[in-house]
Structure 1
Amino acid sequence: MITLKNNVLTVLIDEMGAQIRSVKKNDVEYMWQADPQIWKSTAPLMFPICGGLKDDKFVYEGKEYILPKHGFARNMPFTVEKADDTSAVFCLKADEETRKMYPFEFELRLIYNIENDALTLKYEVKNVGENTMYFAIGSHEGYYTPEGIEDYDIVFPQNETLNSVMVDGNLLQDHTLPIIKNTNVLPLYDKYFLVDCLVFKDVKSKSLLLRNRRKGKSIKIDFPDAAYLVLWHPHCAPFLCVEPWSGIPDDFHSDYNLAHKEGITALSKGEVYTAVHTITYIGEE
């Protein structure tokens, strides 16, 4: 476990999956603490896909590959390339195990940095192979809501009209559920998550506040490079996952070709993809 610490935040990051395990500000925990009876993770990384594939598979150059929901990075040990008091670099490289699921040569780095009350994650994906690689990447942080999520709102910096794409198992359906119309506040209700999650393809905002409407306690989440936003919450559990993703799950119309997948990123030989994601722990106002 790697510890980052300044005079405001203490952050614990697990080498397994390069996953945030704890963020404390003034000794107050802000992250879900991975109760295995509910959800054993805290903030897993989604790579090289976000969500699921149709039949958990894709076809590349005539060969079929089985790739589990959210990919494999969250379940693999990362190498710590650098660590000091306020920053750390974690790296995962393609190997024999990853090639069984995903036939591309890559180097994936997560660069963590804390400054004042903000934690910044920078994702770097480098194609070190000969062929174009196809991937998506995203976060899955679980924020602790001890009062229950119905005391919380999602507040956007601009008005939004959001319709959630309905989910059946791992796959997106062809119809949507209206959530908010021309407002910047999304009040959270357990009923939204009875089936699965909220999947938004049409968010204009590139940041949001997770705000406790009674206490004023807030977490600001910036995701300038994400194309999609997912919210997930096990029914009545005391946490909410806010998930900015570059990609999106398959729908029933998938032809199994990764290059045709909605939201997929194509990276040519030698190219490097970068994305930044910042979490600011504002606390109680």
Structure 2
Amino acid sequence: MIFTVTLKNDKLTVEINTKGAELNSIKVNGENRLWSGDPEYWTGKAPVLFPICGGLPDDKFTYNGAEYILNKHGFAKLKEFTVEHKNDLTATFLLKSDDETLKSYPWSFELRITYALRGAAVKITYDVKNTSADAMYMSIGSHEAYACPEGIEDYDIIFEKKENLNSCDLDGNLIAHSTTPVLKESDTLPLYYKYFAVDALVFKDLKSRSATLRNRKTGKALTVSFEDCDYLLLWTKPGAGYICIEPWTGIPPMVGSGYDITEKEGITAVEPDKSSTVSHTIYF
């Protein structure tokens, strides 16, 4: 049965759904800083992306000569997790592979997602254990949508360091063989809906390991740190009152790169009985 888990301290109240172990709300002094999930734009709020981030060519991959169908962003966001541990400040959610997941992803695994309140911050840790006999190939990422009720064009993204950023262009669900420059020797990226007319901004080779979303009129801000992730995406829909700041460990394949999951850019190989652990933190 799907239900909601609540964590609370003197600064934050956080709700997480057992479906997808997805954040439902993050309230700071009673104000929800996550997107509402308005179906006019997007019903998601903060899906967890596993075992792939983004899409695959024809929604499929190959491994050891066999072909598997795996939809965009994987299946974790659709599965019900069990609550393995909970107290007032921390909760760990567990998803184990099952007959359904094995049809589209031929590895046994245990995925644990831990949410921990630390003052005015939420640390989110993904721990993926390979319980198969062979090396497992996976990526994992976050997709938190932060509320921008005034519209995103009142906001900037401020990077930890000055950046020269080119966004990887997208061709459907895949990375195109071209880029679009969006930032030159600056740490501040003003947000405009025009950036998202096609899809997301996709950044790799970032020097920064944190990004701040700041309302340039009010100064209200939050910061996402992503020390363990090499890719960062920004996404919204034109006119919507949210911006997603998405640290990923992998990205979609490039057009024409083939179906072999072992050769996918950013893919993580996890040896049998070993784990891959990554985290990111949201500061308010």
In structure 2, the residue corresponding to 1:48 is in which secondary structure? coil
Letter in 1 for 2:132: G
What residue is the counterpart of 1:214 in the other structure? 217
Quick one: which of 87, 90, 95 aligns to 1:87?
Answer: 90
Where do residues 49-64 of structure 1 align in structure 2 (5 Å cutoff)? 49-64=52-67
* C-alpha separation in 2, matches of 1:116 and 1:58: 42
Q: Corresponding residue for 2:72?
A: 69
Task: Say which of 4, 12, 15 aligns to 2:18.
Answer: 15
Q: Could you tell me how far 1:78 is from its partner in structure 2?
A: 0.4
Q: What is the aligned counterpart of 1:4 among 2, 7, 10?
A: 7
- Percent identity between the two aligned chains: 51
> For residues 29 and 135 of structure 2, what CA distance do their matches in structure 1 show?
46
Deviation of 1:254 after TM superposition, in Å, equals: 2.2
CA distance in 1, matches of 2:202, 2:118: 31
Indicate the RMSD between aligned Cα atoms, in angstroms: 0.7
Cα distance in 2 for partners of 1:52, 1:3 equals 32
Tell me how far apart the structure 2 counterparts of residues 223 and 247 of structure 1 sit (CA, whole Å).
13
The whole-number CA distance in structure 2 between the counterparts of 1:167 and 1:225 is 24
Hey, what's the Cα distance between the residues in 2 that align with 1:8 and 1:90? Answer: 23
State the AA in 2 paired with 1:4. L
Deviations 1:20-40 (A, max 9, x none): 010001111100011122111
In structure 1, distance between residues paired with 2:185 and 2:206:
12
C-alpha separation in 1, matches of 2:144 and 2:86 = 21
Partner-residue secondary structure (3-state), 2:187:
strand
Which ranges of structure 1 fall in alignment gaps of 5 or more residues? none
Match of 2:226 in 1: 223
Task: Give the Cα–Cα distance (whole angstroms) in 2 for the partners of residues 24 and 137 of structure 1.
Answer: 25
| 1:245 maps to 2:248 | yes
Q: How does 1:104-123 map to 2 (within 5 A)?
A: 104-123=107-126
Distance 1:68 1:56 in 2: 5
How far did residue 276 of structure 1 move? 1.2
1:44 partner SS: coil
**Normalising by structure 2, what TM-score?**
0.98
Equivalent residue number for residue 136 of structure 2: 133
What amino acid is the match of 1:55? D
State the Cα distance separating 1:230 from its structure 2 match.
0.5
Q: Which residue matches 2:177?
A: 174
Q: How many residues are matched?
A: 281
Match of 1:191, SS state, is helix
Counterpart residue type for residue 238 of structure 2: H
In structure 1, the partner of 2:199 is 196
Matched, 1:97 2:104: no
